[in-house]
Amino acid sequence: MREIKAIIQPFMLENVLRALAAIDELPGLTVSQVLGWGQSRAAGAEDPVFEGGHAFARKTKLEVVVRDELADQVVTALVTAARTGRAGDGKVFVHEVGRAIRVRTGEEGDHVL
């Protein structure tokens, strides 16, 4: 299993969700609104948020866990749909998942996705 985390521009969320929804076997995803900065330290952010003397850019974070064979398709769809070609488009991280447990039943394994 692979966990895919993406930090994207909030205005690209609809494009990304449309692209991911087209993947039939996608088990689900989590979307969060977050604050952060990258290499430019939020310089040029449209609506920066100031906390503790630091400027943060508003970003959207997506998280999904998929079977290994689906990971490349999800990453490709996500990156393609989120890209504007401008600085601040975001990042995608892919991690190996060692264990998944369905809380309701206690079942384990990639079939719980």
Name residue, tokens 């977050």. 34
Mention every residue, 6+ apart, whose C-beta is less than 8 A from residue 49. 35, 55, 56, 57, 58
Mention every residue, 6+ apart, whose C-beta is less than 8 A from residue 54. 37, 41, 42
Q: What is the number of domains present in the chain? A: 1
Does residue 70 register a pLDDT over 70? yes
Does residue 72 register a pLDDT over 90? yes
Range of the domain at 50: 2-112
Longest Cα separation, the chain: 47
Q: In this predicted model, which residue has the larger pLDDT, 38 or 66?
A: 66
CATH code for the domain in which residue 88 is found: 3.30.70.120
Cβ pair 112, 101 in contact under 8 A: yes
| Residue-wise pLDDT tens digits, 22-60 | 999 999 999 999 998 887 766 667 788 888 888 899 999
Query: Taking the model in full, what pTM does it have?
Result: 0.89
- CA–chain centroid gap for 85, Å, is 18
pLDDT of amino acid 43 = 66
